[in-house]
Structure 1
Amino acid sequence: MGGISHSAVLARLRSEIGVTQAALATEAGLDQSRVSRIEKGEVSSEAEVEKVLDALTALGSPQARAYKEFIGRAWENIAPPSFFNPQRACLEIADEALRDIDTFLADESRPWPLRRQIERHKDTLIKGANYLQKMNHNIAFIGPIGVGKSTGLSFLFDLLVPPTLASKPIDRPVLETGAGGTTICEVHIKRGPEFGISLLPMSETELRDLVADFCASRWAVLKGELKESADNAGVSREHDRAIRNMSGLTRRRSTENGKIVYFDPVSDLVASCASEDEFRTRVLELMKLPERTQRELWYDSVTRQHPMEWVMKTFREVNNGRLADVSLPTSIDLIIPEFGRSFGELEINVIDTKGVDDVAVREDLDLRLKDPRTAVVFCTRFNDAPGVTTRSLLQHMHDTYSEPVNTGKVSILALPRTEEARAMKDDAGEVAMDDAEGYAFKQMQVENELAAEDLAGVPMVFYNVQSDDAAPVRGALFDQLNRMRSTVEARLFDLCAAADEVMKNHEAQALTAAMEEVAERLNSFLDAHPALPARERHAYTEALTTIGGVRYAATLWAATRRNGEYSGFNIIHNIGVGAAKDARQRSDRWFSSLKDYIAVMKGDEGLQLAEKTISQMEQSAIATRTAFLEAVQRAGMEVYRGPLSSASIWSQCAAEWGAGPGFKGRVAGNLKTWFEDRADLKDKLEEITNVLWDQLVIAPMRRLVAENAPEAGLGGNVIPFPTKAA
């Protein structure tokens, strides 16, 4: 038991049965002060800890005996998990399985088909165990701007000021809310020791690019080069507001002859400058960037504010660029003591992503969709559900990397307003009797729509912040995380069973014969289906298609000024997505044929002894496909990033702005010509894609089914191409 800190666990076990330290001390035969010091971590005597655990058992603690066994356990292959880890029993079994596997593999006389399978089981077991051993997870809320996402999660997680500090309930959220376009960047809410705000500032390059956009757009309009329009080139509302606040160039309102008149100091500044460069320089000077070095802000009780009121007001100051020593953030952390305790043992960070205002398939959202530790909640208006953004991203997951939608990874949160649910009608045209029935009608409608698009199985919850209880919705999100973990847990149990089957029956001639037969058949399949089918469409086609669908031409304008890499629309990222989509389409038939081939083997009575192994081979193939598609996406980005970043095409594209209607079409045409002229890049990506196929799909399968197959290259980037600088 040495080296393990028991203080928090012992205090919790005592608290759970409602026993005082004095009563526990009496039962354990110790002084109360001794028990107190043990619970504070000041004493770690093994003998005394055992006495306390025995006393807790005698006093009725259901877990004290289990904890005594837990701390006496020797973990050989997995780092000891928390005693309260929901998957602790599974991890114990996995640790034992890994020990048995090492013993089995130590005997080099084992037949090669058995060794290969067990080696593969070991690698997958370790990865799964490492996933379950950790208790931290993210819940990322994604949705279009103005949908009520920030308001919804504020009420869901009690991120609210006290009712007495708000004139009406809807004004209580700590996160800044409004009619959309209010949050300047991604916001993370996490647990911490004190109330505070921490931020990651924009890089100097990113900030100067943003100011350059602001200045270029204002210069063009105010110098009469362009007329002001709803789709005028420029920065987002949030960034426009923050830049004006940071530079002291906020519009001022006055009343003249009974009419409200707005004065824009930017107009005077432009008039006083001889060039756009001078205008930009003066704005940057007014922002006093060298003085903006503050990264952390902490609540001080001397302010006499309620802590949540302080968080709300300080967040608004940071979010709007109103603090003289704080720069523009690229992400903001709200640190709240005891946050996420309703999720039990899991450590939860909630992420309020920047609202989708145009292109949904953004690089920042893609990272959340791919992160195995992040559950994604698609937010939508009730009447619009499932919503354009939700559909786009679900289809993206399906088409780009074959992500299942029914494993807890994603859910839909519909945010109804008062009376919307009761306006729903059934098939007979009768309106809903109450909100619950309206929710049921809407859920059936959404389920049918998604099933028609091959996206069935996405859980859906509803939450009206003005009338619904938040607890059931939080419970649904907790269930979503549990499904994610349970999916991995079930995989580990299957792996342990498959490995155990091989190891227990390794001396049986019939098992070895069955395994050799499976290997021979799969080897024949690989011989007959070795190559990746021909390319179906170029990777850059995805970027050109997305350009055509961009809602705001200003989004595309900003991308052209950054060599294609803009947070609102990253053309390089879209090329990667296009490469992965093509790779998925090309590999569909291969994996479908393999699935059918494996199904035939499962149904073969002569191979029943190897049934679990055959199932694990199928799971391994699914894993190789995921790795292949992700690697192809990276390859697509890296092949094109260097040449595009230095290409003169971007200045040509940016110059198309202001030449009249059709900006998006002209940019797409220019880029299409550039892409078609660079056949060398198409060929290079095709070469890398085929090498990735051989190394990430074929080689691992060969390793399983061919005695003399070389070690499969499964780690990291198997193709040496430059990566984007951090």
Structure 2
Amino acid sequence: MADLRRVTVRAKTPSEKPTTVDHLKNLIDKVGDIDTVIGEVMSRMKLESRTESQMILSQDTEGSMEWLSTNISKINYGQHPRFSVPQRITVLLPLEALRDTPYLISVIDTKGVEGTTQRPDLMAQIEDPRTVTVLCCSFADAPGGVPLSIVRETIDAGSDAVSADRLCLLVLPRNDEALKIVNDGGDVPSDREEGYAIREGQIDQQFATDGLPGIPVNFFQVGADEPEDIWRWLTSRIEAIRTAKVERIKRHVAAADNLVTNADVAKTRQARHTIADTMAKAAERFRKLRPMVRPAHLNLIAEAKKTHQNSIAASVNRKGSWDNFPVAHILGQGVRIDANLRTRDTFVRIDEAIEGLKDDFAHLSDVAQFLENLKDDVEEARKEFLTRVALAGRNLYSPYLSQAVDMWDKCEARYGAGSGYRVDVSAIFQAQFEGDPNAMTATEKVEAQVGSIWEQIVIDPLLEAAAFEDEE
């Protein structure tokens, strides 16, 4: 942004070698004073004119994709004079600029994963029921550590993104990588498609080895594969989400029709009494949550052990408030993971109870439809419960983190003192959350809130949804 890049100068004669000019180093050598250099760099960045956060492509502009590629590249490298580094840049395109699609869509390009994969911006997209999340990786290390971590954390958090097919993997080969891969017999493929098939089999095996369910996979090599093919595949993922929603709407419509046209009042009343009684007993049986299984701070410890030390240090300097290692969010995710572990079997038993009622009353189509809708409602309550407890954990731990000065001081003092930084910081976190009375108080508040949310979001609505009163 300040135009102080390292520049390679080509040789003028065959006997000379190319040289590199480091303009920032030259400026430091010339000025000498670091504060003055910082002031000069800030001045050259011209931040007062870099205030834009939105671009609009005119419908009359020719070469829309080239325009988009050029401008985004300039923004990414700080070379666009109107853009600094905003949290989000919006690019508005006319529909004609995109390839054919029946949908009005938005494409969100998140920043790369340089620290923990447990980031609020990533989770918000993964949890959005209208979003297809495309995880990308190179061909050589597919499926890649980051996609595996995201899939694992998504499942641990109880999200339905994988089961609902909202997560997929796009592998990006380069050059002739797909032709150099070797199969189990030691043979190389005859073409790219065969190479893709070999790699996809290896990806599936890696997911299975890690105990994870597979997700849809596709490959795209720029300049070699047809963009139309991958575009159709991506839009088919959107169609799959829409199809599931349409099916649910159809069930609701059918239930309403059956209630009006096919209801046997006497049999329906008897069935609803049985359903209400069964659900009431289930609600009372499961009203009290199981004890804590995995304390939230264990998630923080696990993330600290695998996140780059610079991201941890940057977060420590900001008392946990750093995008690449957001401590409050990680603790909130820890609360969610624990809540999922504690309630997973409970939801299975509620589902089994509903399935048993469906078998008993399969001959009553209106009741069967009601039970199917009740099953959907319970699933929605499960997702809402997990989302709410994560938010509660994040909000209730945040005040404590801002006041845990001693913990942050210890972490800051450890930085730069040799190897083992991440392990030692993890130990500091563990000692703090397991020995500090204020940390224990914060955990008790979180636990009380989790119990309250469980009753509000799951138990009480379950009773209300199944309740039935006789009409005189």
With the length of structure 2 as denominator, give the TM-score of the two structures: 0.86
What amino acid sits opposite 2:466 in the alignment?
V
Tell me which of 348, 356, 376 is aligned to 1:600: 356
SS of equivalent to 1:354: coil
What amino acid sits opposite 1:664 in the alignment?
R
Tell me which of 435, 438, 441 is aligned to 1:680: 441
User: Post-superposition shift, 1:537?
Assistant: 1.7
User: Post-superposition shift, 1:451?
Assistant: 4.3
User: Post-superposition shift, 1:597?
Assistant: 2.2
What amino acid sits opposite 2:33 in the alignment?
S
Q: Which residue of 2 aligns with 1:415?
A: 172
> In the aligned structure 2, how far is the partner of 1:476 from the partner of 1:311?
22
Distance 1:326 1:602, change over 3 A: closer
On the 8 A contact 2:54/2:90 being kept in 1, the answer is: no
1:686-701 to structure 2, matched below 5 A, reads 686-701=447-462
Distance 1:459 1:426, change over 3 A: same
On the 8 A contact 2:27/2:37 being kept in 1, the answer is: no
> In the aligned structure 2, how far is the partner of 1:255 from the partner of 1:385?
37
Distance 1:511 1:554, change over 3 A: same
Q: Which residue of 2 aligns with 1:590?
A: 346
On the 8 A contact 2:53/2:89 being kept in 1, the answer is: no
Instruction: Let me know the Cα RMSD of the aligned residues.
Output: 3.2
> In the aligned structure 2, how far is the partner of 1:640 from the partner of 1:266?
45
SS of equivalent to 2:218: strand
Tell me which of 408, 414, 423 is aligned to 1:665: 423
> In the aligned structure 2, how far is the partner of 1:464 from the partner of 1:584?
39
Q: Deviations over 1:166-219 (max 9, x none)?
A: xxxxxxxxxxxxxxxxxxxxxxxxxxxxxxxxxxxxxxxxxxxxxxxxxxxxxx
On the 8 A contact 1:401/1:626 being kept in 2, the answer is: yes
User: Post-superposition shift, 1:691?
Assistant: 0.3
Q: Which residue of 1 aligns with 2:413?
A: 655
Tell me which of 48, 52, 65 is aligned to 1:290: 48
> In the aligned structure 2, how far is the partner of 1:544 from the partner of 1:269?
46
Verify: 1:559 aligned to 2:315, yes or no. yes
Q: Deviations over 1:325-379 (max 9, x none)?
A: 5432322333444356434321122222212234222222111111222111111
On the 8 A contact 1:413/1:461 being kept in 2, the answer is: yes
User: Post-superposition shift, 1:619?
Assistant: 1.6
User: Post-superposition shift, 1:254?
Assistant: 7.3
> In the aligned structure 2, how far is the partner of 1:653 from the partner of 1:269?
37
On the 8 A contact 1:361/1:392 being kept in 2, the answer is: no
More helix by share: 2
Tell me which of 400, 413, 428 is aligned to 1:643: 400
User: Post-superposition shift, 1:474?
Assistant: 1.1
> In the aligned structure 1, how far is the partner of 2:420 from the partner of 2:76?
35
Deviates more, 1:514-523 or 1:447-456: 447-456
Q: Deviations over 1:10-60 (max 9, x none)?
A: xxxxxxxxxxxxxxxxxxxxxxxxxxxxxxxxxxxxxxxxxxxxxxxxxxx
On the 8 A contact 2:161/2:167 being kept in 1, the answer is: no
Verify: 1:384 aligned to 2:138, yes or no. no
> In the aligned structure 2, how far is the partner of 1:467 from the partner of 1:382?
14
Distance 1:536 1:280, change over 3 A: farther
Verify: 1:397 aligned to 2:154, yes or no. yes
On the 8 A contact 2:53/2:88 being kept in 1, the answer is: no
User: Post-superposition shift, 1:561?
Assistant: 1.8
On the 8 A contact 1:514/1:606 being kept in 2, the answer is: no
User: Post-superposition shift, 1:279?
Assistant: 6.8
Q: Deviations over 1:567-626 (max 9, x none)?
A: 222111111111100000000111122222223223326875522222222221111100
SS of equivalent to 1:695: helix
Q: Deviations over 1:259-312 (max 9, x none)?
A: 846541464488425xx7x776665455443343344566799xx996655554
> In the aligned structure 1, how far is the partner of 2:181 from the partner of 2:9?
46
On the 8 A contact 1:416/1:463 being kept in 2, the answer is: yes
Verify: 1:515 aligned to 2:272, yes or no. yes
Distance 1:437 1:643, change over 3 A: same
User: Post-superposition shift, 1:554?
Assistant: 1.0
Tell me which of 207, 228, 236 is aligned to 1:471: 228
SS of equivalent to 2:414: coil
User: Post-superposition shift, 1:631?
Assistant: 0.3
What amino acid sits opposite 2:292 in the alignment?
R
Q: Deviations over 1:674-711 (max 9, x none)?
A: 32311100100000000000000101101123458xxx
Distance 1:464 1:287, change over 3 A: closer
1:344-355 to structure 2, matched below 5 A, reads 344-355=101-112
> In the aligned structure 1, how far is the partner of 2:401 from the partner of 2:292?
22
Count of residues in Structure 1 that have an aligned counterpart in Structure 2: 458
Verify: 1:446 aligned to 2:203, yes or no. yes
User: Post-superposition shift, 1:410?
Assistant: 1.6
Q: Deviations over 1:393-434 (max 9, x none)?
A: 111111103314243312111222344334445555544333
Q: Which residue of 1 aligns with 2:326?
A: 570
> In the aligned structure 1, how far is the partner of 2:463 from the partner of 2:261?
25
> In the aligned structure 1, how far is the partner of 2:58 from the partner of 2:452?
58
Distance 1:363 1:487, change over 3 A: same
SS of equivalent to 1:407: coil
> In the aligned structure 1, how far is the partner of 2:31 from the partner of 2:295?
45
SS of equivalent to 2:132: strand
Q: Deviations over 1:424-450 (max 9, x none)?
A: 455555443332233233333333443
Verify: 1:704 aligned to 2:460, yes or no. no
What amino acid sits opposite 1:553 in the alignment?
Q
**Runs of 5+ unmatched residues, structure 2:** none
> In the aligned structure 2, how far is the partner of 1:663 from the partner of 1:447?
35
On the 8 A contact 1:401/1:630 being kept in 2, the answer is: no
On the 8 A contact 1:543/1:571 being kept in 2, the answer is: yes
On the 8 A contact 2:53/2:90 being kept in 1, the answer is: no
Rg bigger for which structure?
A: 1
> In the aligned structure 2, how far is the partner of 1:502 from the partner of 1:329?
53
> In the aligned structure 1, how far is the partner of 2:268 from the partner of 2:163?
35
On the 8 A contact 1:602/1:608 being kept in 2, the answer is: no
What amino acid sits opposite 1:689 in the alignment?
V
> In the aligned structure 2, how far is the partner of 1:255 from the partner of 1:415?
32
1:35-434 to structure 2, matched below 5 A, reads 245-246=1-2, 249-251=4-6, 260=19, 262-263=21-22, 264-265=25-26, 267-268=28-29, 271-273=32-34, 283-284=41-42, 287-295=45-53, 309-339=66-96, 341-425=98-182, 428-434=185-191
Identity, in percent, stands at: 27
What amino acid sits opposite 2:457 in the alignment?
L
1:629-640 to structure 2, matched below 5 A, reads 629-640=386-397
> In the aligned structure 2, how far is the partner of 1:497 from the partner of 1:300?
46
> In the aligned structure 2, how far is the partner of 1:463 from the partner of 1:376?
16
With the length of structure 1 as denominator, give the TM-score of the two structures: 0.58
**Runs of 5+ unmatched residues, structure 1:** 1-244, 709-726
On the 8 A contact 1:553/1:664 being kept in 2, the answer is: yes
On the 8 A contact 1:505/1:511 being kept in 2, the answer is: no
> In the aligned structure 1, how far is the partner of 2:112 from the partner of 2:184?
34
Q: Which residue of 2 aligns with 1:546?
A: 303
Q: Which residue of 2 aligns with 1:580?
A: 336
Q: Which residue of 1 aligns with 2:194?
A: 437
Q: Deviations over 1:441-494 (max 9, x none)?
A: 333333344345554352221222232222221111111000011111111111
SS of equivalent to 1:334: strand
Distance 1:313 1:485, change over 3 A: closer
Q: Which residue of 1 aligns with 2:215?
A: 458
SS of equivalent to 1:413: strand
Distance 1:666 1:589, change over 3 A: same
On the 8 A contact 2:272/2:466 being kept in 1, the answer is: no
User: Post-superposition shift, 1:381?
Assistant: 2.0
Q: Deviations over 1:539-566 (max 9, x none)?
A: 121111100111x211111111222121
On the 8 A contact 1:536/1:586 being kept in 2, the answer is: yes
> In the aligned structure 1, how far is the partner of 2:211 from the partner of 2:204?
10
